[in-house]
Structure 1
Amino acid sequence: MSRIYIHTVCGLLLVLTPVQAADEVIRSERHDFRVQTLTRGLAHPWALAFLPDGRMLVTEREGRLRLISAKGELDPRAVAGLPAVVASGQGGLLDVALHPNFVQNRWVYFSYAGQEGRGASTQVARGQWVSDAKGHRLENIQQIYRQRPGSGAGVHFGSRLVFDRSGMLLITQGDRGDKDRAQQLTDLAGKAVRLHDDGRFPADNPFRKNNEARPEVYSYGHRNMQGAAINPVSGELWATEHGPQGGDELNIVRAGRNYGWPVITYGVNYGIGTQIGEGSAKAGMVQPIYQWTPSIAPSGLAFYQGKPFPQWQGNLFVGALKYQMLVRLELDSDRVVHEERLLKNQFGRIRDVRVGPDGLLYLLTDEADGALLRLEPS
């Protein structure tokens, strides 16, 4: 149960936002657990990556990359070396991921809203991690991807970065608020993109030989993918996608497939509730394996594999901005067979979900005073 804390300061009565007591046991269908607040004071944190030594890199949307110790201590110095970021609307510094061979090459990848023409676009760069007596920084910055054309809109940048089993980099994106771009193969908005780790186009990309398509495109017809993870069993990319008013989706993202936006959707036009496109299904367009109506605004995504929560093994966890909750999905192969909603309205908007090297679940809350949380067995 959440509690409201009341304090008196200089004679004034202050009622603080409801929080969960650190020692309070939260009941769930499969496991009882506690939520430990490791870090506070993060400015709209967006993504989390674990360094091999247990420290964590966290992006803040306004453009800072922060370093947090394994115990949750926030380094007051931001990581140096990042390029300029367009922090406006939903744009800013977004995802962060380590190269699969990070121990050898020290590459850190990050996605962000960057200047593109008179507007901004989703872009990806990498830099080599250096941590020494002078501080923490990224060196040898290389931009490996930029979505073109840019747009003055401040919405639907995506974006998650995932390395698949073959070492290819998959980038999820949004339609930048211009829905018709998602169906145009000559346009990079509304697409998942697949690249070599240095930005080269793979020869086996599905549209590489199509003169009327961009060679980096992997899939298309996406509205705004803000969660992505590799299924540890199948090796396929799973992604969550924001619908309009209703129709948030969970998809298995496969090469060359058309996911339908804006021709098909389970959502409707904001405010007026009218149909978008041609309905919810059309031949040749992929149906989501799961959808949420009303919307939950899904963000971070993680498959659970770990020892601390054995009855969550193989479950899929989804962060939700709306209702401020963590969604647990039970799977039977490629089907969702059960949903449980956890932490509703208790900690804030859940932006990212990760499984740590210790097998515990880590969450980021998208708030002005954002937090890094850890779920621990009770």
Structure 2
Amino acid sequence: MKRPLILLAGTALGAAFMSGPISGLALAQAQGTSVETQAPNARDQKPAFANQTRARQPAATTKVTTAVVARDLPNLWSMEFLPDGRMLVTAKEGAMHIVAKDGKPGPKIEGVPKVASGGQGGLLDVALAPDFQTSGKIFFSFSEPRDGGNGTSVASAKLAADGNGGGRLDNLKVIFRQMPTYDGNKHFGSRLVFGPQNELYVTVGERSDRQPRVQAQDLASGLGKTFRIDMEGKPFPGNPHLNRDGARPEIWSHGHRNLQAATLDGQGRFWTVEHGPRGGDELNRPEAGKNYGWPNVTYGIDYSGAPIGKGLTAKTGTEQPIYYWDPVIGPSGMAYYGADAIPEWKGAFLIGGLVSQGVVVLHMDGDKVATEERIPLDARIRDVKVGPDGAVYAVTEERGGGGSSIVKLTKA
């Protein structure tokens, strides 16, 4: 099913706006103002620099067409393209499937470990090894049931596909465990991104609750961190805390809340978008050993309406986000667009929006955001990938464990 997103000169009218009066969103886009028209949750907070939030729309927003290429899938969390163009997907409840080019999923892949799928947990991200063509090796993250609770873990295995569209995982090995274990069901992260030296970046959450979340500032804890490891799960050479007493050597950066979006840019640098509280979703380029503030420094407010901690948005020794959203977009899944099929997006970041229900497009000027546009898809977006054809693929998610679809975005 194809559905055009009608984008008139300077506007971005999605399918939800194809009939009836022009909405506030469309009006803002027509005027070249910020796509965000709602008041911020933290009304007294001010950005630290220009265009740190509510960047303007581009002069002409992108004309795209959508087509549903797979439907009636289980509740998916992530997808990855295989070299032959099929898609490897993970389902939150603990299943992994290969989706054929005609959009039909194969049977469950055998050998997937048990996951703690309650709350925000489950079978999470999946990534192909850099040498997948010869090794067949994949890496995936999941909320692992453990004595005393659970935690985010990373496993490797060989994907042995069969002739029936399914397959099995061989030589499965859990290579890394976020510690400490915690008995909760929120903020597991997590995304897996291979860097240019075959280093594996792993993003996690700080488990949400007041008692554990302060450990995002503790280098002896694995909560609220990004990690950089090798393919065996060991600290990667050159990590910032390798020889620091009392610090976990796998840590790359700290002071994070819940990172469910990550990718490399065109220079091979690592970028993330993390969930904020009520307001305060953040775009960052995590650098070695740096502190990104949570929960001592953040934009936004607590769900209760109270300030987070002392209500600080800046503090010596912590990094400012490159960009933030208030209200939130609910970021999950992220891709850098380096293809040619949609030239307007060349060099942009594409971010899935669970709350904004579409794809958020950030056009960059160096390492700063120049403009922001949004492609409404009328669905929660859990993951975003650029396909081998240069099209953009978005994984939808229904609340309450409903099914998923995969939507293809192409230039109109």
Relative to the length of structure 2, the TM-score reads: 0.84
The answer (yes or no) to whether the contact 1:205–1:217 under 8 Å persists in 2 is yes
Q: Report Cα offsets for 1:327-351 as digits up to 9, x if no partner.
A: 11110010001111111xx431011
The 2-side partners of 1:243 and 1:376 are apart by 30
Aligned to 2:343: 310
1:267 CA displacement: 1.5
Shift of 1:33: 1.6
2: CA distance, partners of 1:213 / 1:176: 19
The reply on whether 1:47 has 2:27 as its aligned counterpart is no
Query: 2 CA distance for matches of 1:213 and 1:255?
Result: 14
Contact 1:265–1:276 at 8 Å: present in 2 too? no
**Could you give the per-residue CA deviations for residues 292-332 of structure 1, whole angstroms, max 9, x where no partner exists?**
01111111111111121112111111111112121111100
> Which residue of 2 is the match for residue 58 of structure 1?
89
Question: Aligned partners of 2:125, 2:281: CA distance in 1, in Å?
Answer: 20
Letter in 2 for 1:316: F
How far 1:278 moved relative to its partner? Answer: 4.9
Deviation sequence 1:169-196 (CA, Å, 0-9, x none): 0000000112101011111010101101
For residues 214-251 of structure 1, what are the alpha-carbon distances to aligned partners after superposition, in whole Å with 9 as ceiling and x for unaligned?
Answer: 11111100000000001113x21100001111111000
* 8 Å contact from structure 2 (residues 295, 308) kept in 1: no
Which residue identity lines up with residue 286 of structure 2 in the other structure?
V
Of 144, 167, 179, which residue of structure 1 is paired with 2:198?
A: 167
Question: Structure 2 unaligned runs (5+)?
Answer: 13-59
Kindly report which structure 2 residues correspond to 1:176-325, keeping only aligned pairs within 5 A, or say none: 176-177=207-208, 178-233=212-267, 235-325=268-358
What is the alpha-carbon distance in structure 2 between the residues aligned to residue 278 and residue 257 of structure 1?
Answer: 21
| Runs of 4+ that moved beyond 3 A | none
SS at match of 1:311: helix
C-alpha distance in structure 2 between counterparts of 1:337 and 1:32, whole Å: 19
Distance in 1 of aligned mates of 2:344 and 2:372:
14
SS in 2 for 1:211: coil
Deviations 1:273-300 (A, max 9, x none): 3343450000110110000011111111
Equivalent in the alignment of 1:89: 119
Q: Aligned equivalents of 1:189 and 1:43: distance in 2?
A: 29
Q: Percent identity?
A: 41
* Counterpart contact for 2:281–2:330, Cα < 8 Å: yes
Alpha-carbon spacing, 1:172–1:277, altered in 2? closer, same or farther (3 Å): farther
- Mapped partners of 2:5, 2:355: distance in 1: 23
Instruction: Call closer, same or farther: CA 1:315–1:117 in 2, change over 3 Å.
Output: same
- Indicate the larger mover: 131-140 or 347-356: 131-140
Are 2:61 and 2:373, in contact at CA under 8 Å, matched by a contact in 1?
Answer: no
Q: Work out whether 1:22 is the aligned partner of 2:56.
A: no
Aligned residue number for residue 136 of structure 2: 106
The residue aligned with 1:8 is none
Say which structure is richer in strand: 1
Q: CA deviation at 1:23?
A: 3.9
Separation in 2, partners of 1:127, 1:32 = 40
Aligned to 1:349: 380
TM-score (normalised: structure 1) = 0.91
How far apart are 1:272 and its partner, in Å?
Answer: 2.4
Does the CA contact (< 8 Å) of 1:156 and 1:174 recur in 2? yes
Q: CA RMSD in A?
A: 1.3
CA distance in 2, matches of 1:322, 1:185: 31
Residue aligning to 1:4: none
